[in-house]
Amino acid sequence: MLTLKKNYRVKKTISMKQFISEFGENFSPHVKKRLLELEIRCVLTRKEELFKFDLKHVEHTKYHCISKDGSATLEKEYVYGQLVVLEGILYFSEKCIESADVTHSPIVSSIYNSLSSDHMVVNENMELKKVDDSNIDFVIDTILTVCPEVSQGYLDIVKQMTSLSNK
């Protein structure tokens, strides 16, 4: 029986810059530029799969959501999309992480359904559509319409951190 070891050294949360540095070698300059527009608002999180990332707001804002059976109102963090990189190609997933604390933003389905299905991949129960120069503007612009701006408090913290690193 084959036993797989967990890699505990893998960062579970990374910035968009780290994502591009680690996985973006084959991304076009335009795709990289547009992805970087999410840098201040979003972080990427991953579980066991090293190539599958959920896009979350940096401040992990919680929203009121109705439970699946409709019996309760819950507080959950939104995921604004799941990015998957297979063989150097960027994809947008039909599904995102779902848990007691996290759910996908309604915009995920809109983005996925609007992407062309010409470059669709089905891999390990995932339906993926290719993201490239032809559709990256739509993907990023749509995410930016629903992903909230960061608070002034967050901007102040980042400014302080970057000013300290420049000394």
| pLDDT (tens digit per residue) in 110-146 | 999 999 877 777 766 788 999 999 999 999 999 999 9
| Mean pLDDT taken over the chain | 87
Model pLDDT, residue 64: 80
Model pLDDT, residue 112: 95
Q: Per residue in 7-30, pLDDT tens? A: 556 789 999 999 999 999 999 999
Rounded to two decimals, what is the model's pTM? 0.85
Burial of 44 (0-12, 13-18, 19+ CB in 10 A): buried
Task: Indicate the domain borders of the chain.
Answer: 13-165
Burial of 126 (0-12, 13-18, 19+ CB in 10 A): middle
| Dihedral of alpha carbons 31, 54, 149, 19, sign | negative
- What is the average pLDDT across 154-160? 83
| Dihedral of alpha carbons 46, 52, 58, 59, sign | negative
Q: Per residue in 50-72, pLDDT tens? A: 899 999 999 888 888 877 777 77
User: Cα 154 vs. chain centroid, distance in angstroms?
Assistant: 19
